[in-house]
Amino acid sequence: MSRIGKLPVDIPAGVTITVGDKEITVAGPKGTLQVPVQDNTTTKVEGNQIIITRSDDEPKSRAWHGLQRALLNNAVIGVTKGFEKKLEINGVGFRLSGGPKEIEMALGFSHPVKYKAPEGIELKTEKMEITVSGIDKQKVGQVAAEIRALKKPEPYKGKGIKYADEVIIRKAGKAGKK
């Protein structure tokens, strides 16, 4: 058995699960998410738990089994608590402004950089920090990665956009002549 796939997913109060042929709908207080049904897996709701089983022990089926459970667990967490990622901007002259759907940044380029959030994602700015939040874990991570890619942190001074928990390994600068 898959170590992840065999674990049941607990359904908290206020969350409803609808199992269909092609997708599973998870609805909760923060919104609704659809999770695609993976090949060779069956999903059953028993009481306040979701149990995922697979049809055979082929390597591909074992992989789909764990993936199906992880996607359902992330959907349940997303519709109850939500997900968020924090980014920090470091650098002299860098600025940040904006609201919940669009932010504008001065990142050392000749023009200001604007980023518009996709549907279901909210951006909060505070001083030099950006908080990306939403109910879809994949979408939150993708938006955070796209914002970070606008100006990746460089290893000499650490200037750029980095995740709040990311450690930038610094390099020594050029050694002067003696």
Tell me the whole-structure pTM to 2 decimals.
0.88
pLDDT tens digits, residue range 126-148? 999 999 999 999 999 999 999 99
Q: Is residue 151 part of a domain?
A: yes
Q: Is residue 22 part of a domain?
A: yes
Query: What does the radius of gyration of the chain's CA atoms come to, in whole angstroms?
Result: 21
102 and 47 co-located in one domain: no
Mean pLDDT, to the nearest integer, of 50-75?
Answer: 91
Predicted pLDDT of residue 1: 54
Q: What is the distance between the alpha carbons of residues 4 and 70, in angstroms, rounded to a whole number?
A: 7
70 and 105 co-located in one domain: no
Nearest Cα neighbor of 78 from 18, 35, 23 is: 35
pLDDT tens digits, residue range 73-131? 999 999 999 999 999 999 899 999 988 899 999 999 999 999 999 999 999 999 999 99
Confidence of residue 2 (pLDDT cuts 50, 70, 90): low
Predicted pLDDT of residue 89: 94
Q: How far is residue 19 from each of residues 40, 42, 44, 61, 91, measured CA to CA in Å?
A: 15, 10, 8, 19, 49
Query: Total domain count for the chain?
Result: 2
Q: Tell me, what CATH number does 71's domain have?
A: 3.90.930.12
Predicted pLDDT of residue 62: 87
Q: Name the residue range of residue 119's domain.
A: 83-163
Sign of CA dihedral 61, 67, 70, 71: negative
Average pLDDT, the chain: 91
